[in-house]
Chains A and B, each alone.
Chain A
Amino acid sequence: MKVPVPWLRELVALPDAVTTEQLADRLTEFDLKLEEIIGSGVSGPLTVGRVLSVQPEEQKNGKVINWCRVDVGPEHNEPATDEEPAGRGIVCGAHNFGVGDLVVVSLPGTFLPELGFEITARKTYGHVSDGMICSEAELGLGSGDHSGIIVLPADSAQPGDDAIAILGLGDDVLDLEVNPDRAYALSLRGVARDTALAFGLEFTDPADREVPAEGEAHPVRIETDSCPLFVTRMVEGFDPSKPSPAWLVRRIEQAGMRSISLAVDVSNYVMLELGQPNHAYDADTIQGAIGVRQAREGEKITTLDDQERVLSEEDMLIVDDEGPIGIAGVMGGARTEISETTTRIVIEAAYFDPPTIARASRRHKLVSEASKRFERGVDPQLAARAAQRVAELMVEHGGGTILPGLTVAGEAPVRANVTMRQALPTKVLGIDVSVDTVISALTGNGIQVAHDAETGNIVATPPSWRFDINDPYDLVEEVLRVVGYDRVPSVLPKAPGGRGLTREQELRRRTGIALASFGLTEVKSLPFVGEGDFDKLGLDAEDERRDAVLLANPLSSEQPALTTTLMIGLLRSMSLNVSRGHDDIALFEVARVFTPKHGVEAPIYGVDKRPTEAEYAALNEALPIQPHHAAWIMLGHKVRPTIGAAGVDYLWSDAIAVAHDLANVLNLELTVRAARLAPYHLGRCAELLLDGQVVGHAGELDPRISQAHGLPGRVMAGEVDLDALVAAAPIVGPKPNFSTFPVAKEDFAFVVPTELTAGELSDAIAGAHEFVESVRLFDVYTGDQVTHDRKSLAYKVRLRAADRTLSDKDIKTAREAILAHAEALGAVLR
């Protein structure tokens, strides 16, 4: 809300000593937050001048300039000479003026912010131009669409008059941010009331005015519940050629609106002054009574902005016998608008249901000054008085008469009382607030207060313009505004002893620290993906990871879904790092992924009571599945080369090792088995299992996928369902239960069928005998020494007993058990 300060000062007797900055600070403390103070910034001798002579001179480039003599008043004029009368010589490129016109001259020393410099006398086009004749644009005035220089109305000023004052360039304008609960402050009336309260001044309500009336004005027919009140008033004999007075134009322009014509300007002025949006119709274009009704589906209207709009049943219309003449509370129609020939005017002022207007404004993406006010709530007691004010201003400046009739259809809704215990402000704010302070704060807001000292109850009747006062706490806010937010003391509450992080939180944190300590760098990725991302990941058409949660309003139609795998984001980051010239890159991410539950809808409950447990459960059941995943990706060196030592590249096994190490951090052991899954290499992908359930995959990426992402060399990666791991993590890991008796180390080399995996044989050896402490594969051989369908696997096995030193016989028994178990898998000792 832009508030011209002189206008505000007219409505509230603010002492001259209060500066604009002080005013703004105080209003900010009163919940009318200052965005900025807008001033023209024009300073220096900006003066009214009368053009004495105009001498067109054609330049070499064909351009015609005017060499003018301008009378800028005795104080500024150069003395008369034999050739020239007293005045100043000024070069001007504009042509929309003539001898005798009043113009605005910036004399040397004037600073114009729009130009960014101070005007000086300068030599141009063969003359010394002793100043500049100004256009609106150069002064930062108006909408800037007027070409040429400013020509003031004849006789409106004298040469030498201060043009800064005449043009209102010295006025400060406060741009205030009005919160949605303070609809009343979208008017000078509301801001003035708060200003009076803030400075402890008397307030005279500009809306307190007589509405003399007799009989009816233009008839009205309300056929919808969304329009409780509709008022019409009429003016006849209006002269449409009359201009708006300069002060009125200045004020509405300072308030951010454009001057259109007297009738429209007056309508807007009263909206700004009182907060009542209103509309002026050309009475001769209205056929029959004015109606208010819901639109029919598909009905059309051309609004004042020349847009044809298709309506829905939820839109509320203003109509006449011929059809729609406006979208109620949002914008009027073109057919009945005021024109250059309008002499009979119908003035409309109404109260509309705020949500109806809010929805219409959103539906049509049409935010007007009227809709902004109606959707927040317009004082329903204002309609007749605002219409009266509009009519009076029209007649005052455009002639004609106000017809005695006043039509009031419907009635203003009444606000309910709010009862508050007098101690509530103290209880809520933690400041001792006396009852007297409470009462004066409330009455200063226009709230009528009945205090019952016996019960300690304060019954508050909110004024018609306060839509935000419905609860006792709303009254507390008003008290705090007056008492001051800076009065709230600082007291640290004592929470009961907490239990620290939950186990899930602690384990997730531990996971992140562990992944970083493995040498991986954490990234965060945007979760938005599309079919193209899934294609690039090599997912086939049936892959369940393509079944993603879709957004109704994605930022990009290319990426309308929430990701089902963190690998897409990691590959994007990997590509970016490679494109920026990095060589050895290892990344991880911990974030949620999303899987939809199709055909489920979340219920919407009322808010006047808690939902039942079953209702709450129904909300949760409707949510997409959204577990935390952890994922990692590596490229380049795992160990970089240095002088005297070779580098080590990341291998497929490193990606699987991350999974194992991550599980170990959570006191879990994963098992792995070979799998085939995009985007992994068909022969280098491990399925990660926890108690037989697949919890993720790791291995080397299919080189075609790496290449498609612009990644050089081989890329290793993995992803696990972290929530599944965390849920399975035991409170205490394996017991540290170990034997101190000597170890016996035995090596075995087996020739096995090629299909047998090292893991299967290793598991068999580990389970062969109780003495087997550990099994480690140390060699895999294929080649001439074995047949083509065989390979050799060599293991180091450590044997140890819990209770004694192993005897030769013990060792023999264990070896035989190992051989028997291996042979059962087709392994033969070499």
Chain B
Amino acid sequence: MSAPNSDYDPVEVTPLNAAEVERMRDEGLAAVAAASTVADLKQARLDHAGDRSPLALANREIGALPPQAKKEAGQRVGQARGAINQAIAQRQIVLEAAELEATLKAETVDVTIPTDRQPRGSRHPITTIQDHVADIFIAMGWEIGEGPEAEAEWLNFDALNLGPDHPARTMQDTFWLSPERAALVLRTHTSPVQARTMLERKPPIYIAVPGRVYRTDEADATHMPIFHQVEGLAIDEGLTMAHLKGTLDHFAQAVYGPGSTTRFRPSYFPFTEPSAEIDLLCYVCSNDPAEVANCGTCRGEGWVEWGGCGVVNPRVLIACGVDPERYSGFAFGMGLDRTITSRYDIADLRDLWDGDIRFTEPFGLGL
């Protein structure tokens, strides 16, 4: 840097004259504008805004000028350097954005390549329908009962008014545990849970019992030695068959939608009197005269068989310690496997038991 000199004429100091500063500024701006990459721009910054750039060198000369000239020259050079720095900053943003975009473009992928890297688990539809049914009854204030699958003969049969000579107790239907004198069976229905609940609790009782039951049927497309039922039992003061109908209608609507309803047909079960078969209004054709004749689900009947029900036989109440003079009740039961197979057009019951992942996967975590 030159020493201050009071009679030094700034006009005579070439690098600081106005035209020269303007030229250096324009050169710098041109170089910035010409930079097409961040690297070019870096070079332009070194050349025109760096410590050794012409304007930086010119700036060093200012100190030698007289005070008045110092101010003028300082302004001139400062403005020029500011213009270049501003241009560099703007150019920097533009070039960086362009380069990032190019990089991202280069990273383009085929978004349709397989993404199913993590296996997706799923629950068996029988499990989820059991949960669904349980939730429906819990919402009504009922509770969910359960009991053992290997069950005492007395609870599976005698307590339910199925006397020793009832046809359901023959070898054709029931799996007996060995030795037979042990009086143990694989429960043939969820009804022993009715007896257990009455033996273990005092009325009022409102329970639903989803569960697995067994019959000695060879496995084929329409039979399995195991299937699932849901059983309902209500014991309270003043319960009538009308409450049974109301409960079934409500259940039907919860499962099959608002228009659903049920009807009774006379029937016989040892544990209920009177007993009825439950028909469900066909959930496909709704017994609509225009559709019912061609309906494959109800085979033109307008109704589908749903289960059995009735008023609890007082003999069952007595065997289970409930006073039939004070309490009455109703019970019902229906199969869940058929509900699944008919709603999802599953032709072969064995599909529920084979474990092919393609059967269960479509059901995901819930129905």
Q: Answer yes or no: are A and B bound together in one complex.
A: yes
Give the residue name and chain of the B residue nearest to A178 (CB).
B268
Instruction: Please give the distance in Å from B276's CB to the nearest CB on chain A.
Output: 6
Docked CA distance A492–B137 (Å): 12
Q: Is A522 an interface residue (CB 8 A)?
A: yes
Q: Which of B152, B353, B357 contacts A577 (CB 8 A)?
A: B357
Q: Do B265 and A485 have beta carbons less than 8 Å apart?
A: yes
Give the residue name and chain of the B residue nearest to A560 (CB).
B178
Taking CB atoms and an 8 Å cut-off, the chain A residues in 113-161 that contact chain B are none
Q: Which of A430, A520, A528, A588 contacts B240 (CB 8 A)?
A: A430
Q: Do A481 and B266 have beta carbons less than 8 Å apart?
A: yes
CB-CB under 8 A from B225, the residues of chain A are 526, 528, 555
Q: Do A642 and B144 have beta carbons less than 8 Å apart?
A: no
Q: Do B119 and A604 have beta carbons less than 8 Å apart?
A: no
Q: Do A519 and B124 have beta carbons less than 8 Å apart?
A: no
Interface string of A423-442 (1 = CB under 8 A from B): 00001111100000000000
Q: Do B245 and A642 have beta carbons less than 8 Å apart?
A: no
Docked CA distance A69–B279 (Å): 57
Interface string of B108-142 (1 = CB under 8 A from A): 01100111111111111011000100100010111
Interface string of B137-164 (1 = CB under 8 A from A): 0101111101011111111001101001
Given the known interface contacts A562-B150, A643-B113, the answer about A430 and B242 at a Cβ–Cβ threshold of 8 Å is yes
Identify which of B25-33, B180-188, B291-299 touches chain A: B180-188
Q: Do B119 and A181 have beta carbons less than 8 Å apart?
A: no
Q: Do B274 and A623 have beta carbons less than 8 Å apart?
A: no
Taking CB atoms and an 8 Å cut-off, the chain A residues in 597-653 that contact chain B are 600-605, 607-611, 616, 619-620, 622-624, 626, 637-643, 645, 647
Interface string of A504-547 (1 = CB under 8 A from B): 01000100110111111111111110000000000000000000
Q: Is A29 an interface residue (CB 8 A)?
A: yes
Q: Do A624 and B150 have beta carbons less than 8 Å apart?
A: yes
Q: Do B177 and A624 have beta carbons less than 8 Å apart?
A: yes
Give the residue name and chain of the B residue nearest to A480 (CB).
B274
Give the residue name and chain of the A residue nearest to B174 (CB).
A553
Give the residue name and chain of the B residue nearest to A28 (CB).
B265
Q: Do B148 and A523 have beta carbons less than 8 Å apart?
A: no
Q: Do A496 and B204 have beta carbons less than 8 Å apart?
A: yes
Q: Do A521 and B150 have beta carbons less than 8 Å apart?
A: no
Interface string of A174-210 (1 = CB under 8 A from B): 0000011110000000000000000000000000000
CB-CB under 8 A from A647, the residues of chain B are 117
CB-CB under 8 A from A362, the residues of chain B are 170-171
Interface size on B, residues (CB 8 A): 105
Q: Do A179 and B357 have beta carbons less than 8 Å apart?
A: no
CB-CB under 8 A from B355, the residues of chain A are 523-525, 569-570, 572-574, 576-577, 587
Q: Which of A182, A474, A488, A638 contacts B273 (CB 8 A)?
A: A474
Q: Do B245 and A498 have beta carbons less than 8 Å apart?
A: no
Q: Is A582 an interface residue (CB 8 A)?
A: yes
Give the residue name and chain of the A residue nearest to B239 (CB).
A493
Q: Do A180 and B170 have beta carbons less than 8 Å apart?
A: no
Identify which of B40-48, B49-57, B246-254 touches chain A: B246-254
Identify which of A353-361, A385-393, A739-747, A753-761 touches chain B: A353-361
Given the known interface contacts A525-B355, A552-B177, A607-B161, the answer about A517 and B150 at a Cβ–Cβ threshold of 8 Å is no
Q: Is B82 an interface residue (CB 8 A)?
A: no
CB-CB under 8 A from A637, the residues of chain B are 119
Q: Which of A527, A609, A645 contacts B117 (CB 8 A)?
A: A645
Q: Which of B165, B182, B234, B247 contacts A359 (CB 8 A)?
A: B165
Q: Do A551 and B175 have beta carbons less than 8 Å apart?
A: yes
Taking CB atoms and an 8 Å cut-off, the chain A residues in 716-761 that contact chain B are none
Give the residue name and chain of the A residue nearest to B138 (CB).
A500
Taking CB atoms and an 8 Å cut-off, the chain B residues in 309-367 that contact chain A are 311, 313-315, 318-321, 328, 352-358, 360-361, 365
CB-CB under 8 A from B138, the residues of chain A are 498, 500-501
Q: Do B264 and A485 have beta carbons less than 8 Å apart?
A: yes
Docked CA distance A608–B114 (Å): 68
Instruction: Please give the distance in Å from A824's CB to the nearest CB on chain B.
Output: 42
Given the known interface contacts A490-B249, A550-B177, the answer about A605 and B328 at a Cβ–Cβ threshold of 8 Å is no
Q: Which of B140, B180, B182, B353 contacts A495 (CB 8 A)?
A: B140
Q: Do B113 and A526 have beta carbons less than 8 Å apart?
A: no
Give the residue name and chain of the A residue nearest to B130 (CB).
A509
Q: Do B356 and A576 have beta carbons less than 8 Å apart?
A: yes
Q: Do A602 and B150 have beta carbons less than 8 Å apart?
A: no
* Most chain A beta-carbon contacts within 10 A, residue among B177, B183, B212, B264: B177
Give the residue name and chain of the A residue nearest to B162 (CB).
A607
Docked CA distance A777–B132 (Å): 43
Taking CB atoms and an 8 Å cut-off, the chain A residues in 467-481 that contact chain B are 471-474, 476-477, 480-481
Q: Is A502 an interface residue (CB 8 A)?
A: yes
CB-CB under 8 A from B234, the residues of chain A are 493, 495
Docked CA distance A616–B242 (Å): 33
Q: Which of B141, B164, B175, B179 contacts A497 (CB 8 A)?
A: B141
Q: Is A585 an interface residue (CB 8 A)?
A: yes
Q: Is A822 an interface residue (CB 8 A)?
A: no
Q: Is A580 an interface residue (CB 8 A)?
A: yes
Instruction: Please give the distance in Å from A431's CB to the nearest CB on chain B.
Output: 7
Instruction: Please give the distance in Å from B315's CB to the nearest CB on chain A.
Output: 6
Instruction: Please give the distance in Å from A93's CB to the nearest CB on chain B.
Output: 40
Q: Is B303 an interface residue (CB 8 A)?
A: no
* Most chain B beta-carbon contacts within 10 A, residue among A359, A472, A495, A562: A495
Given the known interface contacts A513-B365, A585-B357, A600-B182, the answer about A522 and B274 at a Cβ–Cβ threshold of 8 Å is no
B interface residues, Cβ below 8 angstroms from A = 109-110, 113-124, 126-127, 131, 134, 138, 140-144, 146, 148-155, 158-159, 161, 164-167, 170-171, 175-184, 186, 199, 204, 206, 212, 216, 218-219, 225-226, 234, 236, 239-247, 249-250, 261, 263-268, 273-276, 311, 313-315, 318-321, 328, 352-358, 360-361, 365
A interface residues, Cβ below 8 angstroms from B = 28-31, 33, 179-182, 354-355, 358-359, 362, 375, 427-431, 471-474, 476-477, 480-481, 485-486, 488-502, 505, 509, 512-513, 515-528, 549-555, 560, 562, 569-570, 572-574, 576-577, 580, 582, 584-588, 590-592, 594, 600-605, 607-611, 616, 619-620, 622-624, 626, 637-643, 645, 647
List 7 extra interface pairs beyond A375-B165, A509-B131, A603-B154, CB under 8 A.
A30-B266, A355-B164, A481-B266, A488-B245, A492-B247, A605-B158, A619-B155
22 contacts between A and B (CB under 8 A): A28-B266, A31-B266, A33-B265, A477-B275, A480-B241, A485-B266, A490-B261, A495-B141, A495-B206, A495-B234, A500-B138, A519-B119, A519-B121, A522-B360, A524-B353, A524-B355, A549-B178, A551-B177, A602-B153, A619-B152, A619-B154, A642-B114
Q: Which 4 residue pairs across A and B have the least CB separation, nearest first?
A: A573-B355, A430-B242, A610-B321, A430-B240
